[in-house]
Every structure is written in C-alpha cells, then in structure tokens.
Amino acid sequence: MKSRGMPTIGQRNRLQYIILGLLNQRPQTGYDLAKAFENEIGEFWQAQHSQIYPMLKRLEAAGEISHEDTVTGEKLAKKQYTLTAAGREKLVAWVSQPSPELTPSKDEFILKLYFIKTASDPRIQPMLREQYQLHQSQLHHLQQRQETVFPNQAAIDQAYGHYLILDHAIERESHYVEWLAQYLEK
Amino acid sequence: MKSRGMPTIGQRNRLQYIILGLLNQRPQTGYDLAKAFENEIGEFWQAQHSQIYPMLKRLEAAGEISHEDTVTGEKLAKKQYTLTAAGREKLVAWVSQPSPELTPSKDEFILKLYFIKTASDPRIQPMLREQYQLHQSQLHHLQQRQETVFPNQAAIDQAYGHYLILDHAIERESHYVEWLAQYLEK
DNA sequence: AGAAAACATGTAATTAATTACATGTTTTAA
DNA sequence: TTAAAACATGTAATTAATTACATGTTTTCT
C-alpha cells in the first residue's frame, strides 16, 4: 500500500497553490489566470495556459475549486472558478508553511560571462551593453507600472502583496543594472 | 521532410552548452561536473547527475566531446571527458550569440507575500525574519568563498569569469537581504 | 465592412528536470 | 579496523514545463 493517487509526500507542485492564491483574490477564468502569469506575478512565476487548464480540472476534481458557466455576448462560454472552503484551507496552510529552500535560479548570460576567462576578452563589453539595455528597459517598464498601479498610499493599502512584489522586482532589476554598469567601460 | 533528429530550430537546452563550457576549462568526469553545479555555478544553473550522464553520452555521440578511461586505485573506473574541435566551435558560437531573453525566475516566498493582502497581517514579520536568516547565512557563505577562492588580484585574473559570477551572486544576495530588512520591524 | 487583436478553452507531443532505483570503490576519520 | 563520507556511473519512473496543434467568439481599430 503506497500511492493513493496523490504524490507521496514532500510535495512540490507550487502551481496549484499559486492558482488557489489568485482565485482567492477574486473568481477568475483560466484565461485571466494566464494573464496574471504574464503580468503582475510574471516576475516571480510563469505558467502557460496549457499548464493552467489541466490544473484547474485537477483542483476542481479535488474539490478545492468550483466553476460557474457564464456567457459573454451571444455565445462565448467562460468558466469562472472560485475557491471552495477546502481550497481556502489549503491555501492558508501553504502560506503559513515555512519556505526554507533557496530558490534555484538560472541565468544564461551570467554563465556565458563565466566561460570567458580573461578580463580583456573583446566579447565582454558588447555582452554587458546588450544586457544593460535589456535590463534598463525592463526596469523602466516596471517603474511605469508602479506609477500607474500605485499612484497613492490608498492603492498600496488595497493591494499590499501586489505592491511588495512589484517593489521587489524593481529593486532586483535596479541592482542588476547597477552591477552591469560597474563593469561597463565608459 | 522535417525532423532530422535535432530540434527543429530555436533551440533551448542550455545544459549542453554549459557542460561544453565546463569541459573547456579542463577535462572532467561526470561526477566533477555534478559538483560544479553544486558549487561554483550552482547559483545560476542546476543539474543533477541523472541529467548530466545522459547528456555526456549525447554530446559524445554528436562528436562534440570524447572521453578517456582512467582508473583510480585498484579498479575505480573514471571517464575523463574532453572537448573536440567541433565542441569548442559550438561553445564559442553559443557564447557569441546574443542573450536577448529576460531569464524567467521563480520565487515561492515572494509569491506567498503577494497573497497576503494587508500590511498588518501577523504572518508577514515571521516570514520576513525566516527569509532574512536564510539569505543572510547564504550571503555569509558566499562571502567566505570569495575570500578563500580570490584572496588577491592574481587569483581574480586567473579565473575572471568565476570571479564575476561570485561577485554577482554576492551582490544579489546582499540586496535581497537589504530589501527584507527594509520591511522588517525592529 | 473587414481585418486584426484580444478573449476563451482545450489537447497532444515533446523536452526538461527531479526523484528514485541500483551498484560498486576509495578515502578519511573515529 | 571499521564505518561513514566521498568518489564514481549509470537507468527508470515520474512530474513539470514548453511548444505545437486545434477551434471558435468578441471587440477594437482602420
């Protein structure tokens, strides 16, 4: 007697919790969730719709979410998903659990630098310039979003988590840009 | 006429290039490579030995690396892998290519914060403290490694890429810790 | 009026990655 | 001397993630 359909223990699969968290904010469709992974939380988690729709079915089968069919216009069918009590419990349990693992991250550009052995290699400066532009424009984009989404304190108080995540993303990009600038020759 | 055994175009699979890069530094065994993913480059890429050994076979079949059998002690068999000319070419081509994609990253802790709606939620401070300790100790660890691996300028010049990667990791952790401290109540 | 972009939902196929299984040797420290 | 840790190499099974396939509606812009 071993498996019961559910993974043994030591679960990974954070996607399910993130979806529960998003649905806890308000009922949403799979499409809406996919947009969230492109926008507000895209800096810290990614998922395609092809991963989201099956997960919604799985969560519904597990009784953690439920859906209501609605129609937009003449016949465009939508499924609005909502958390059940069980889903809300599971979400709270996840958030309350410690997160003692350092998140592994991957950075192809930094690795390319790693494989360049000498400081005088002529490839270094163009590479740094390319990344500088890339991260600089990403930083601008994030800063603009912050200005439009959080123009005042009231907006911050209403979506504190969203504010934190954007602030963290901006700080991260900002320091990445500074690090690049440090090695860029004027 | 479509597939030729190789992925159509727009290849991902960076692992192969990273292995080529590591082998370009010096001939190494699969075990050595696995250690590198735990240590010097572990901050920016991860791979298990179960991913590495099959990839070594694949690269050898493609004629990009070759191996030499050696024996340690009485009978412990090792395979020292080396880059071929084709492998070195492929590595250079990869490094020289632009890296115009922002690396997607994942951070479970930041997402948990995102799902906490109000600044007064009692769970925030303990969570921040936990992460502060985690990242603080990681920062110390990296700083110590920098001191031992790069005690002087000569050491830096001999492994400039390694120095850059460690420096970047330290800066990243350092700013993460600062960001956490900013929201920590004294 | 027509075209393009955005909305909306799914499945299939493939690839990447992790975890578990499996085995044996050599070195180091108690 | 003996046990543990580190060295060394592989495969199998599972899960996660991406890319491609597949279809249709509504809204917005020209």
- Residue ranges per structural domain of chain B: 15-96, 108-183
Beta-carbon count within 10 A of B134 CB = 20
Q: Is the pLDDT of residue B158 over 70?
A: yes
Task: State whether A110 and B138 contact (CB < 8 Å).
Answer: no
Cβ of B35 near strand D (under 7 Å)? The reply is yes
Residues 116-145 of B with CB under 8 A from A: 116-119, 123, 127, 130-131, 134-135, 138
- pLDDT, residue A12, reads 79
Return averaged pLDDT per consecutive 10 residues of chain A, 186 residues in all. 34 91 98 97 97 98 98 95 98 95 93 96 97 97 96 95 97 98 93
Measured distance CA(A76)–CA(A86) in Å, rounded? 30
CATH number, span B15-96: 1.10.10.10
Measured distance CA(B176)–CA(B132) in Å, rounded? 9
Residues 14-43 of B with CB under 8 A from A: 14, 18, 21, 24-25, 40-43
Task: State whether A118 and B159 contact (CB < 8 Å).
Answer: no
Take residue A15 and report the two structure tokens written for it.
């996607």
Sign, Cα dihedral of B116, A160, A62, B105: negative
Q: Give the nucleotide at minimum CA-to-C1' distance from A76.
A: D25
- Single-letter amino acid code for the residue at A157: D
Q: Is the pLDDT of residue B4 over 80?
A: no
What pLDDT digit, counting tens, does each position of B134-153 carry?
A: 999 999 999 999 999 999 99
- pLDDT, residue B7, reads 37
Report the half-sphere exposure of A71 (CA within 13 A, side-chain side).
3
Q: What's the pLDDT band for B8 if we cut at 50, 70, 90? A: very low
Of A95, A111, A157, the CB nearest to B112: A95
